[in-house]
């Protein structure tokens, strides 16, 4: 029995950002976001944000999915994280 099932709504900006990503990352992000429909206990790689316009973020590979969590889940944006390497300096 699943309790507290969430509905997922994609913001237009997040949809556009998703379409610009490589296909393998698109599939990984969609699968990860689908897990958010489950109760909050089963969420992985989700961090609550403080002093940020979005409520939470989820890490999917080198991307971060920003979303708000109220009555349902609203995916707001997808950001790429650029990490430093030996060529940074």
pLDDT tens per residue across all 89 residues of the chain:
344 567 888 989 999 999 999 999 999 999 988 888 877 666 778 888 898 888 889 998 889 999 988 777 888 888 888 776 666 55
Domains of the chain, CATH where assigned: 8-80 (3.30.2310.20)
Q: Is residue 21 within 8 Å of 33, Cβ to Cβ?
A: no
**Neighbouring C-beta atoms of residue 29, cutoff 10 Å:** 22
Q: What is the pTM of this model?
A: 0.77
């Amino acid at each position: 029995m699943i309790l507290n099932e969430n509905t997922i709504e994609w913001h237009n900006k997040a949809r556009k950002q998703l379409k610009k990503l490589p296909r393998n990352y698109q599939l990984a992000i969609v699968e990860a976001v689908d897990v958010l429909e489950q109760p909050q206990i089963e969420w992985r790689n989700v961090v609550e944000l403080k002093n940020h316009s979005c409520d939470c973020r989820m890490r999917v590979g080198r991307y971060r999915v920003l979303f708000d969590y109220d009555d349902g889940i609203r995916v707001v944006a997808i950001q790429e994280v650029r990490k430093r390497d030996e060529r940074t300096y």
